Structure 1
């Protein structure tokens, strides 16, 4: 924090001495009014470009099971996401111009941190599904940046030791799967929600009583053996990993594919990561294998079996331990799982800490986390994930790096001297 305070003072002094305004950093040779009016359709269009593959490619992959109602739901979420994302970016641009005209010049705080927070308040207008997605994305990117930065010693330890990251992932995996076992609908994870084991009930006509009845075995998969089920899980998640890698490469090389489709597809194949495929396919496979083994050994399916299998099943993360985004996503998902459990199982009759459930922690995290990650992207680009760099360039119509170039041009010559 002291480093950021010193940096903000340094930048603010330079900007004040050069009388830097929004016209210099955002819209040279244009008025604020013209720039802001012109930016509305551009921002919405660029934001839509980000969400089109995210929402509609899975729809195409599952087109056989798609109905008009599902299409309408996807379109509704898509439009809401575009408006919410576009409003966040546009709100930041609008705040930069307003603050610059009110104060008379632009400073470190009025260039990115405060406008980013102002734009972040638009999250309160988004639907629950959309703001949940946005808040999760900003939270895990912020955690990723904090680990890369390493200023806090626990995060510095995670950044340094691969084995520690693997153990951390295994523990988080156990927390997530345990939460899914108790309340599977509250979170989204790589696995489908694991269900509590409920044996079938068969009516005994002679005694007029009911007794437990299990048609095949005690595991949660029906009509197929454990071996067949495990092979099915491996194939399913291997194909899922391939689809995710192709989608990520498609997003990264979209321009190259449009210019030259043959070369573009070569880039897609080249950028597929074998270590990611190993993790995505082996993590659920090993988890389900251990779970089946424990269930058949103990002759019952228990919560403890699920937890042990999830923890030990996280070992393949070692192959992918350098992917901090996956660890960050897992950490934020575990926090969400714990929070859902707290809200579900806290006692409303005694009102024990019930006031905590009224605080919109996710939205607050979006506002402040977004401000931090945008500031890091502009002033600490070496710790910003590449995904964040591409995203900011896309949704701001390349304005974000233009701002950086113009701001950095003020102090780089002075540093050289």
Structure 2
């Protein structure tokens, strides 16, 4: 894969922000248009994400849950609108400031600058959520970008088996950490916490599990029988997977549904469901919960080792849906949780070691957020094949395809100066 940065100087010679950023309109007209219209694009993009909590907790639907989802929707949409308007405007500002475009000033620095402003204004919870998402995407981008230079990264990119093994290790680390500490990170399953003293309870009959591995007492932490508990978990994750797919298909094909709804739901809807994703979720939860029950019955205690073995084996279901983006989320979640455990264990143990309290005072999410966002925006024009698809979708969605127009203008000038097939390398069609 080639980098487009070597063509950048040729393409941007004798050009201004009117040739790329706003394509003929003045800077003020572009700013006014963005301020008035990008809010719609941000709300349209954030809307499906805000609906997911309602779908997951539909049986518990109440006024407080709706208010909470509406509040998050407005907060996320406002933050996305602010970043979009400021980022696009800063592209003009940096051109006026330096007199020409640089590889770092056309997208990366404006994006990072808008993220810095957003991180100052927005809440810690919002910035933390954004930084976690960007960390996952940066992990995916690094694997794609440096896979040809490092054997391990090449295996992660090209081998589903290697990616599954890496996911199994990350999943085991996550389950171990979630057993030890309380965290608000999103993971597909929440294990029971480590209890200092657990006394066996009176046995709750489980006709199916008792036939396979009978026990005299109730050693599991769940209150119901193992049969009921496993059935409840599997059904919930099946609903979760189908709900996610339903939202993805509906919002991803809204225009097509509006034109031909009957044809879409009769012939195309079920074909678009990713059964491997649903199978991964159901299999992951089913294997993990089933193994923890069996191992707890076998060992007659709910130990951490039981959960680690179950987590390792349940991670094999990742092979049904071996997505690099999903591994990126698992890797960054494991790193965050393991660092939290390390900090908790060493905080106050050695008072002479001043690095731990110092590192705790650093607002990592507010530092990571602008750096990672700027880095991903830098990859977009110069390494589009390494840019995560979800990042491209975000940029297109929150800018109402302004980002695509900028890239098309850049590509058209690039094609007139170099390889006519370069548009393909940008992941864009002629």
Give the TM-score of the pair, scaled to structure 1: 0.88
**Which secondary structure state, in structure 2, belongs to the residue aligned with residue 314 of structure 1?**
helix
Check if 1:189 corresponds to 2:187: yes
In structure 1, the partner of 2:403 is 400
5+ residue gaps, structure 1: 201-211
In structure 1, the partner of 2:296 is 295
CA contact (8 A) 2:175 2:311 kept: yes
In structure 1, the partner of 2:215 is none
**Which secondary structure state, in structure 2, belongs to the residue aligned with residue 190 of structure 1?**
coil
In structure 1, the partner of 2:144 is 148
In structure 1, the partner of 2:391 is 388
In structure 2, the partner of 1:317 is 318
Quick one: higher RCO (CA 8 Å, sep 6+), 1 or 2?
Answer: 2
- Separation (CA, whole Å) in 1 of partners of 2:251 and 2:148: 31
In structure 2, the partner of 1:376 is 379
- Separation (CA, whole Å) in 1 of partners of 2:135 and 2:262: 37
Provide closer, same or farther for how the CA distance between residues 213 and 164 of structure 1 changes in structure 2, counting only shifts above 3 A. closer
1:260-339 aligned within 5 A? 260-265=260-265, 266-321=267-322, 323-339=323-339
- Separation (CA, whole Å) in 1 of partners of 2:148 and 2:112: 23
Q: CA deviation at 1:48?
A: 1.2
Provide closer, same or farther for how the CA distance between residues 127 and 184 of structure 1 changes in structure 2, counting only shifts above 3 A. same
Provide closer, same or farther for how the CA distance between residues 79 and 193 of structure 1 changes in structure 2, counting only shifts above 3 A. farther
- Separation (CA, whole Å) in 2 of partners of 1:270 and 1:230: 29
Provide closer, same or farther for how the CA distance between residues 198 and 269 of structure 1 changes in structure 2, counting only shifts above 3 A. farther
- Separation (CA, whole Å) in 2 of partners of 1:28 and 1:294: 64
CA contact (8 A) 1:96 1:111 kept: yes
Aligned Cα RMSD in Å?
2.3
5+ residue gaps, structure 2: 204-217, 421-430
Q: CA deviation at 1:381?
A: 2.5
In structure 1, the partner of 2:132 is 136
In structure 1, the partner of 2:60 is 65
In structure 1, the partner of 2:368 is 365
1:336-355 aligned within 5 A? 336-348=336-348, 350=351, 351-355=354-358
CA contact (8 A) 2:11 2:410 kept: no
Provide closer, same or farther for how the CA distance between residues 301 and 62 of structure 1 changes in structure 2, counting only shifts above 3 A. closer
CA contact (8 A) 1:158 1:165 kept: yes
CA contact (8 A) 1:147 1:159 kept: yes
In structure 2, the partner of 1:48 is 43
- Separation (CA, whole Å) in 2 of partners of 1:45 and 1:379: 28
- Separation (CA, whole Å) in 1 of partners of 2:59 and 2:228: 25
Check if 1:120 corresponds to 2:115: yes
Check if 1:38 corresponds to 2:25: no
In structure 1, the partner of 2:12 is 15
Q: CA deviation at 1:57?
A: 4.5
- Separation (CA, whole Å) in 1 of partners of 2:285 and 2:379: 34
- Separation (CA, whole Å) in 1 of partners of 2:47 and 2:296: 42
- Separation (CA, whole Å) in 2 of partners of 1:108 and 1:297: 61
**Which secondary structure state, in structure 2, belongs to the residue aligned with residue 111 of structure 1?**
coil
Deviations 1:58-78 (A, max 9, x none): 325635523333333322222
Provide closer, same or farther for how the CA distance between residues 193 and 48 of structure 1 changes in structure 2, counting only shifts above 3 A. farther
Deviations 1:250-308 (A, max 9, x none): 23222222232234434442221222122111111111111111111111111111111
1:220-259 aligned within 5 A? 220-224=221-225, 226-259=226-259
